[in-house]
Amino acid sequence: MRTDLLVILQWLSPAFPTGSFAYSHGLEAVIGAGERSASGIGAWIEGVLRHGAGQSDAVLLASVLRGGDAAGIDMLARAMAGTKERLAETVEQGAAFARTVAALTGRDLPPRCLPVAVGEAACVLKLPVEQVVGVYLHAFAANLVACATRFAPLGQTEGQAVLARLHPAVAELAAWASVSEVDDIGTAALAAEMSAIRHEEMDVRIFKT
């Protein structure tokens, strides 16, 4: 087994100190509004993957991995964050990710939005772009499922079943994004953006976003 694969798995694992457990991407507001079923939560996460930040992050990450201008792509990533919380989510996690990888490797990695930070760090790994993007998307989906199991009445097994059903979407999106350009991004996840806006106004919140 290539150690580079183990490296990216470590960087994108829940144990890596990016604080991902604190961000629900607006899912807390969706659950708070009454969505409690595994099918409904799974459909919401798949929608975000295919048509929201999952899609845009995948393409931005792939573009950096292929040698794109990280600084320019980072500016685009910031501009594409539709709400205050979405911007904080990607900037804060990206800064924590870059800081930790820099401490581990001795490399000079500036703070970036999360997909750009991952791309800039992982570009030295000898891994296919599609594989890195797939691991990134799986980690993104797994974190949202974990949020649902902590906040909604989903058991651990039920949550894992939701994640397993998302595997085809993750694989398809990773394959598409690995050969796509930033001009191919076409997100249409208005409900997810509205959830992020509603989350800012919740009286009681477990998650930052």
Give the integer Cα–Cα distance in Å for 30 and 8. Answer: 31
Q: In the prediction, which pLDDT does 25 show?
A: 86
Tell me what percent of the residues of the chain surpass a pLDDT of 90. 73
Number of domains composing the chain? 1
CATH number at residue 75: 1.10.4190
Evaluate whether residue 208 is within a structural domain: no
Categorize the per-residue pLDDT at 202 as very low, low, confident or very high, splitting at 50, 70 and 90.
low
170-178 average pLDDT score: 98
Instruction: Give residue-wise pLDDT tens across range 52-64.
Output: 999 999 999 999 9
Distance CA 84, CA 149 (A): 25
Looking at the domain assignment, is residue 100 inside a domain?
yes
Within-domain flag for 42: yes
Range of the domain at 44: 3-10+24-193
Whether 1 has a pLDDT exceeding 70, the answer reads no
pLDDT tens sequence across 122-141: 999 999 999 999 999 999 99
In a domain, 159, yes or no: yes
Residue 207 located in a structural domain = no
Q: Is residue 151 part of a domain?
A: yes
Q: What pLDDT band is residue 113 in, cutting at 50, 70 and 90?
A: very high
